[in-house]
């Protein structure tokens, strides 16, 4: 009887209420940002190379028009047989699918073909080189934010950075259609319109009345919103041409609220899109924007113009040839032409010159100039293209940006010169420092030191705080020792917030263990420095004599010419107590500066 009751109790405890719910097929799916472009072009049919028998009719140019798509081989500009007074208009529409996004555009002048000399052209044009055409000097452009009707109307904003002559506006720099500095992101699924007009001659904006419509193309040549005056003589431009690359970039805005278009690597000839990386040589200077206002304009002497200027003014330097100068007060010294396309050139007046530009003051900018020592062997001890050097106090807020510096060489009999492209220099134990300064977007080439001396693209000697050395392209530096970039020291150097980033130093700087792409000297505080996102072949932490820094040098995320750099082959430490963190390394080259 007891056994029976026990069995019943066991059976009863297994009879609970129960239920099971199952959710199957849970997934995460990434969204997308797909940038699509279309273009509608209007003009005269005599400029369209696909029209066999042009009559001068105004209408849509199918050759340069297409529906919304990814860009492959489409051309925004493909015009033939231009004559003074010809003009055209077209409108780009930019569509970001699905997700809100920042958007940027860039145009880069890649060629100015001469295409030979016709007889009337030869009478006025003395240049006949492959890329010495003059059409770039007479073909005007205007861009604006359009409402979609292909007409510049009252109240529509002109994009000043893209309005003017090709040489000064199509420089490869990225301009914001929408970024964190100037607008809300483009909403996913919406369309942004950019209107653009061109004129062979003098263009004048003439906005027409706003009609409130966004789907009506220009019905007649007169309704485009600008005028084109082709009167005058343009024979020097006969048969000439221009070639332009156009690119767009979109990037998610969510979780990316600090995005700026100006931080993108500038568009260079041959650079791929969609994240492709290709190292391009130093022949292409990055985007340069000339000053919009000049307080003083140099004529024959930059030094004389500096003497006339007062603190805070801008000294503009037109194309021409000038001698060395010293900036001893707060000024901006700026060329009026991209130094890769024009030539505000600074040359040494003789071999006794030690620097082509010497900065002894705070609050100085030197930009848009071409420093060239060709044909003059310098005999100074610290020969440099540009030197920043204090006299009696710290130097603050100096920008050396967008310059070309080349052929800084020494006299064959000079055995003491250690040459530099750009140098921050203080004497031993001076106690002076360089702060809040920027050495960026410079092209430095052919820096040659004396035998048994060092040659450097950029060298710093002294304390630094909040200094950026970035987007410089450095090649062909020579000497028994030296570097593309050297953070050097005569005594113990304090550093904080020093960034060496996005520089291109891949040729002519690595020769055994005596020359390096980048060097951080033993006496320099490595804890205040980061060396990231550069294209370099080698790096030395230490060298010569001095007190080894106790800090690990941060050299992560560089491209070393290999995806797997190694200690002793690509990365060197001296003394051996120094440590460099170069992991992770980049798997491919960054876009060049």
- 490 alpha-carbon distance from chain centroid: 33
240 secondary structure, DSSP code: -
Task: Give residue 313's pLDDT.
Answer: 96
What residues does each domain of the chain span?
33-263, 300-581
Measure the CA–CA gap between 533 and 504, rounded to whole angstroms.
10
What is the mean predicted confidence (pLDDT) over 449-467? Answer: 86
Given a contact cutoff of 8 angstroms between Cβ atoms, the answer to whether 73 and 273 are in contact is no
What dihedral angle (degrees, nearest 10) is formed by the CA atoms of 270, 271, 277, 279? 60
Count Cβ atoms within 10 A of the Cβ of residue 511 and give its class: 0-12 exposed, 13-18 middle, 19 or more buried: middle
Task: Give residue 447's pLDDT.
Answer: 87
pLDDT at 312 over 90: yes
Nearest Cα residue to 123 out of 201, 240, 238, 241:
238
Q: Which residues pair with 315 in a beta bridge?
A: 296, 333
Task: Give residue 269's pLDDT.
Answer: 45
Give 7's contacts (C-beta < 8 A, 6+ positions apart).
none
What is the mean predicted confidence (pLDDT) over 558-577? Answer: 87
Three-state SS at 236? helix
Task: Give residue 582's pLDDT.
Answer: 93
Task: Give residue 520's pLDDT.
Answer: 92
Task: Give residue 428's pLDDT.
Answer: 63
Task: Give residue 545's pLDDT.
Answer: 66
Q: How far is CA 572 from CA 487, 509, 513, 535, 547, in A?
A: 15, 15, 8, 16, 16
- 514 alpha-carbon distance from chain centroid: 31
Residue 145, number of CB atoms within 10 A of its CB: 14
3-state secondary structure 331-345: CEEEECCCCCCCCEE
| Phi, psi dihedral angles at 391 (to 5 degrees) | -105, -50
Q: Give the pLDDT band (50/70/90) at residue 5.
A: very low
Q: Give the pLDDT band (50/70/90) at residue 120.
A: confident
Q: Which two three-digit tokens encode residue 112?
A: 């100015």
Task: Give residue 427's pLDDT.
Answer: 74
Of the chain, the end-to-end C-alpha distance in Å amounts to: 95
Q: Give the pLDDT band (50/70/90) at residue 491.
A: confident
Per-residue model confidence as pLDDT tens digits over 327-363? 999 999 999 988 876 679 999 888 788 899 999 999 9
Task: Give residue 380's pLDDT.
Answer: 67
What is the mean predicted confidence (pLDDT) over 290-311? Answer: 94
Task: Give residue 127's pLDDT.
Answer: 67
Task: Give residue 153's pLDDT.
Answer: 86
Three-state SS at 289? coil
Query: What's the whole-number average pLDDT of the chain?
Result: 80
Q: Which two three-digit tokens encode residue 462?
A: 């002294």
Task: Give residue 469's pLDDT.
Answer: 96
Per-residue model confidence as pLDDT tens digits over 54-104? 888 888 888 788 787 777 777 887 777 788 888 888 888 887 777 788 888
Q: How far is CA 206 from CA 139, 152, 158, 197, in A?
A: 18, 8, 11, 12
Per-position DSSP letters for 76-113, written without gaps between them: S----S--TT-EEEEEEEEEEEES-EEEEEEEEEEE--
Q: How far is CA 195 from CA 115, 224, 250, 290, 558, in A?
A: 30, 10, 19, 24, 40
Measure the CA–CA gap between 296 and 323, rounded to whole angstroms.
17
Task: Give residue 470's pLDDT.
Answer: 92
pLDDT at 15 over 60: yes
3-state secondary structure 143-176: EEEECCCCCCECCCCECHHHCECHHHHCECCCEE
Higher pLDDT among residues 313 and 455, named by residue? 313
Top mean-pLDDT range of 11-20, 297-306, 559-568: 297-306
What is the mean predicted confidence (pLDDT) over 360-379? Answer: 88
Q: How far is CA 543 from CA 344, 458, 484, 548, in A?
A: 38, 17, 15, 9
Per-residue model confidence as pLDDT tens digits over 206-229? 888 887 665 455 556 667 888 888
| Phi, psi dihedral angles at 43 (to 5 degrees) | 175, -165
Count Cβ atoms within 10 A of the Cβ of residue 100 and give its class: 0-12 exposed, 13-18 middle, 19 or more buried: middle
What is the mean predicted confidence (pLDDT) over 448-472? Answer: 87
| Phi, psi dihedral angles at 498 (to 5 degrees) | -95, 125
Percent of the chain with pLDDT over 70: 83
Higher pLDDT among residues 118 and 445, named by residue? 445
185 secondary structure, DSSP code: P
Higher pLDDT among residues 130 and 536, named by residue? 536
Task: Give residue 28's pLDDT.
Answer: 60
Of 1-15, 83-97, 319-333, 470-484, which gets the smallest average pLDDT? Answer: 1-15
Q: Which two three-digit tokens encode residue 40?
A: 């509608």
Higher pLDDT among residues 310 and 47, named by residue? 310
> Which CATH code of 1.10.760, 1.10.3470, 1.20.120, 2.160.20 fits the domain covering 300-581?
2.160.20
pLDDT at 11 over 60: no
| Phi, psi dihedral angles at 192 (to 5 degrees) | -110, 135
Per-residue model confidence as pLDDT tens digits over 26-52? 656 555 566 777 888 888 888 887 888
Q: Give the pLDDT band (50/70/90) at residue 325.
A: very high
Three-state SS at 120? helix
Task: Give residue 131's pLDDT.
Answer: 72
Given a contact cutoff of 8 angstroms between Cβ atoms, the answer to whether 449 and 480 are in contact is yes
Higher pLDDT among residues 44 and 467, named by residue? 467
Give 4's contacts (C-beta < 8 A, 6+ positions apart).
none
pLDDT at 244 over 80: yes
Given a contact cutoff of 8 angstroms between Cβ atoms, the answer to whether 444 and 408 are in contact is no
Give 538's contacts (C-beta < 8 A, 6+ positions apart).
509, 510, 516, 517, 518, 560, 570, 571, 572
Specify the residue for token string 């066999």. 52
Given a contact cutoff of 8 angstroms between Cβ atoms, the answer to whether 226 and 205 are in contact is yes
pLDDT at 198 over 70: yes
Top mean-pLDDT range of 13-27, 269-283, 325-339: 325-339
Query: Could you tell me the pTM of the whole model?
Result: 0.56
Residue 192, number of CB atoms within 10 A of its CB: 18
Q: Give the pLDDT band (50/70/90) at residue 16.
A: confident
Task: Give residue 4's pLDDT.
Answer: 41
């Amino acid at each position: 009887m007891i056994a029976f009751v026990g069995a019943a109790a066991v059976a009863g405890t297994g009879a609970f209420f129960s239920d099971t719910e199952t959710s199957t097929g849970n997934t995460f799916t990434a969204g997308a940002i797909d940038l699509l472009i279309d273009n509608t072009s209007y003009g005269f049919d005599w400029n369209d190379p696909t029209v066999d028998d042009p009559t001068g009719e105004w209408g849509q140019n199918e050759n340069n028009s297409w529906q919304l798509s990814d860009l492959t081989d489409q051309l925004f500009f493909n015009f033939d047989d231009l004559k003074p007074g010809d003009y055209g208009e077209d409108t780009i529409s930019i569509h970001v699918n699905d997700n809100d996004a920042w958007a940027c555009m860039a145009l880069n002048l890649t060629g100015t073909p001469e295409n030979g000399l016709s007889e009337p052209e030869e009478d006025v044009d003395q240049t006949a080189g492959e890329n010495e055409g003059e059409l770039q000097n007479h073909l005007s452009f205007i861009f604006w934010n359009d409402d979609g009707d292909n007409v510049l109307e009252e109240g529509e904003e002109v994009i000043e950075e893209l309005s003017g002559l090709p040489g000064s506006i199509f420089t490869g720099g990225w301009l914001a259609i929408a970024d964190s500095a100037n607008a809300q992101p483009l909403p996913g699924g919406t369309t942004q319109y950019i209107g653009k007009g061109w004129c062979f001659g003098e263009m004048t904006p003439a906005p027409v009345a706003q009609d409130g419509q966004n789907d009506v193309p220009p019905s007649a040549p007169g309704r485009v919103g600008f005028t084109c005056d082709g009167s005058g003589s343009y024979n020097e431009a006969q048969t000439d041409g221009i070639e332009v690359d156009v690119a767009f970039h979109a990037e998610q805005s969510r979780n990316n609220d600090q995005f700026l278009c100006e931080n993108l690597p500038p568009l260079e000839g041959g650079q791929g899109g969609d994240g492709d990386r290709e190292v391009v040589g130093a022949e292409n200077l990055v985007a340069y924007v000339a000053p919009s206002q000049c307080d003083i304009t140099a004529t024959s002497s930059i030094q004389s113009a500096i003497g006339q200027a007062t603190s805070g003014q801008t000294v503009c330097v037109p194309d021409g040839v000038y001698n060395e100068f010293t900036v001893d007060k707060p000024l901006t010294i700026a060329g009026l032409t991209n130094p890769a396309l024009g030539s505000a050139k600074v040359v040494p007046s003789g071999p006794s010159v030690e620097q082509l530009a010497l900065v002894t003051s705070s609050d100085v900018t030197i930009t848009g100039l071409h420093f060239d020592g060709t044909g003059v062997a310098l005999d100074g001890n610290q020969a440099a293209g540009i030197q920043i050097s204090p006299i009696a106090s710290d130097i603050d807020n100096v920008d050396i940006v967008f310059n070309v510096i080349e052929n800084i060489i020494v006299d064959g009999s000079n055995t003491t010169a250690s040459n530099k492209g750009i140098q921050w220099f203080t004497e031993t134990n001076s106690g002076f420092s360089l702060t809040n300064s920027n050495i960026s977007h410079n092209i430095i080439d052919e820096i040659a030191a004396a035998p048994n001396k060092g040659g450097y693209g950029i060298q710093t000697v002294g304390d630094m705080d909040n200094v950026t050395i970035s987007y410089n392209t450095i090649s062909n530096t020579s000497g028994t020792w030296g570097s593309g970039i050297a953070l050097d020291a005569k005594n113990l150097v304090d550093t904080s917030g020093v960034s060496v980033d996005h520089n291109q130093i891949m040729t002519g700087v690595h020769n055994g263990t005596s020359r390096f792409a980048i060097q951080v000297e033993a006496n320099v505080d490595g804890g205040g420095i980061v060396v990231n996102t550069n294209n370099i072949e080698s790096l030395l932490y230490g060298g010569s004599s001095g007190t080894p820094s106790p800090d690990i040098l941060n050299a992560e995320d560089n491209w070393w010419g290999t995806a797997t750099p190694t200690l002793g082959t690509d990365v060197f430490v001296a003394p051996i107590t120094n440590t460099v963190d170069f992991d992770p390394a980049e798997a491919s080259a960054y876009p060049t500066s």
